[in-house]
């Protein structure tokens, strides 16, 4: 497996765990696509994107997967799931894979 792909999969596992925590706390209705709360809609999209990102990585489309990951990180920041500093730390994991 490509080193960059491995880093992205590490970050995806962190995000999956966080989404499970959010679901358990009942903060967002991640199964309800008709909920009219923009933050909820963003979280649903992020939740569904994690599997897509992993599929892109598995198919060797690392750049496309990374671009999609960046969008998910933006959703997490907008919804208050992670701070900008926390996301920077996640990106640091990815940048270490480039060295």
Separation CA 22–CA 63 (nearest Å): 28
Residue 13 sits in which domain range? 3-98
What digits encode the pLDDT tens for the residues 27-86? 766 555 555 666 677 788 888 899 999 999 999 999 999 999 999 999 898 888 899 999
Which of 20, 15, 32 minimizes the C-alpha distance to 93?
15
Q: How many domains does the chain fold into?
A: 1
Residue that is written with structure tokens 């491995």 in the block: 6
Angle between helix 38-58 and helix 3-25 axes, rounded to 10 deg: 150
Q: Read off the pTM.
A: 0.80
Burial of 47 (0-12, 13-18, 19+ CB in 10 A): buried
CA–CA distances in Å: residue 97 to residues 4, 5, 37, 90: 5, 9, 36, 12
């Amino acid at each position: 497996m490509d080193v960059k792909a491995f880093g992205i999969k590490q970050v995806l596992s962190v995000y999956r765990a966080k989404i499970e925590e959010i679901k358990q706390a009942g903060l967002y209705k991640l199964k309800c696509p008709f909920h009219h709360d923009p933050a909820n809609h963003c979280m649903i999209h992020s939740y569904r994107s994690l599997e897509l990102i992993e599929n892109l990585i598995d198919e060797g489309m690392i750049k496309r997967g990374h671009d999609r990951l960046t969008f998910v990180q933006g959703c997490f920041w907008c919804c208050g799931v992670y701070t900008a500093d926390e996301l920077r730390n996640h990106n640091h994991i990815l940048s270490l894979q480039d060295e």
